[in-house]
Amino acid sequence: MATLSKFSEDLMGNILSRLPPKSLMRFRCVLKSWHDLIDKPSFVDQHLSTSMDNKVTSSIYVLLKHNVLTDPSIKDDEKAVRATLFNPDSDQRDILLSALNLGSLVDDGLEIENHVVPPPMRGYALSLEISGSCDGLICLNTFNSEDIVLCNPALEEYRVLPKSCILLPPRVPRQVEENEDDDYYEEDDDDEIESNPKCVGFGYDPNSKDYKVVRAAQFVSGVFTQHPSKVEVYSLAADTWREIPVDIQPHGSLNPSYQMYFNGFFYWIAYWTEERNVILSFDMSEEVFHDIALPESGPDAYEYTSIAVWKDSLVLLTYPVENEAPKTLDLWVLDEDLKGAKGLWTKHLAIGPLAKGVEAPLVFWKDEELLMVTTNGDVVNYSLDTQKLKHVPRHGLGEPTNIQAVPYVNSIVSIKPGNKIESI
């Protein structure tokens, strides 16, 4: 009887693991045995593994962050649309997180599931960014707010992280007179120190089996006087931040597709102290930074640089800034250990020349398929095999710098205790 019961649970687990998260949440209420099975950590892992296996699900997802109109009456007025897009206080625009099943493009269709952005982040349409995607969880961050949110769009769950422990300015030392209290900050406005958070990243620590957020804060005073950076790490399991020691001074970058999580590391294309670009990586397990030199004959001041994953390798995509001529993207593959400071890069292939108007790469979703954005904000798919572009239908406003895409998987990995996102 025990053998039959075990067989039944294994069989039911195999069947349920192929269902989407929303269906599973409903089925938890059908039978207590199903509720207990779906809540087991082993089933959560099984469902995640099944969701990531494209041979089983025939689904390949990316999550697209883009703006949409809440007032459809102005959709045909180009001037009004652009005014809405660039007005940070406009209530005629909202942000969507759209899960695109790009596997459905094969049949000339596109399955889209739209998710609204959690409430703390809806007011940052021009500065919101996805600072990492891992196992169906995403990290949302803005460059003009201290708020950081973890979110599982498929479960409509989100958690606002506790306030930072490092964003208070450091003290400015000066000579303290006898009997004077030295517990103060410098009061001279010219020397006031302000924090400037950069380099927010999110990923998974395979050693502790925990999800982490890393945040580096820069401090400046006066006329661009730099002070030592501080770095903190958030643990989802502990729900706390803690400061960690660092021996480098990370500097952020705003190039397209400049950051990503991959295989236990978070990567940024970063400005270095010597005003050269490097790839800055953070080891989620060891909690240390490494820098990887860019190829010597690679990007210069007149090129953009994006990072991506292609054929399970970290790659660079370099391309010209100018929009006047069709672009060609050079793809560089990192051949050496990803943790090494001296990356050995090989220029593997050139993509293009692309049709005029293609602005920047977004993400590889298959080895030979690259999602890109055009100058008018359209999303297109480029096939490296056929060298043809295919329009990706979507609903939204067209400003390429506000569009971001990351690899995504529907999962039931929970961030409880959290809040429920309002459905649309």
Structure tokens at 108: 């000339």
pLDDT on residue 1: 43
- 222 lies in some domain: no
52 located within any domain: yes
Asked if residue 30 belongs to a domain, the reply is yes
Q: Is residue 36 part of a domain?
A: yes
Give the span between the Cα atoms of 157 and 422, in whole angstroms. Answer: 9
In a domain, 391, yes or no: no
- Count up the domains in the chain and report the number: 1
Q: Is residue 166 part of a domain?
A: no
Tell me how long the chain is: 424
* Rounded distance between C-alpha atoms, residue 40 and residue 95, angstroms: 34
Question: What pLDDT is stored for residue 213 in this prediction?
Answer: 95
The reply to whether 53 falls in a domain is yes
| Spatial distance between the Cα atoms of 315 and 311, rounded to a whole number of angstroms | 9
**Distance separating alpha carbons of residues 119 and 108, to the nearest angstrom:** 34
Full domain range(s) for residue 42: 1-57
For 346, the token pair is 């090989």
Half-sphere exposure of 251 (CA within 13 A, CB side): 13
- Whole-number pLDDT of residue 274: 55
- Strand order across the beta sheet in which 111-116 lies: 111-116, 93-101, 61-69, 404-408
- pLDDT the model gives residue 238: 92
pLDDT means over runs of 10, the chain (424 residues): 56 84 84 84 88 73 82 65 64 78 74 84 77 94 83 91 71 49 43 62 95 84 68 93 80 66 90 67 92 68 80 88 75 69 77 86 91 86 90 71 87 78 55
Domain assignment present for residue 342? The answer is no
What pLDDT is recorded for position 263? 92
pLDDT of residue 77: 63
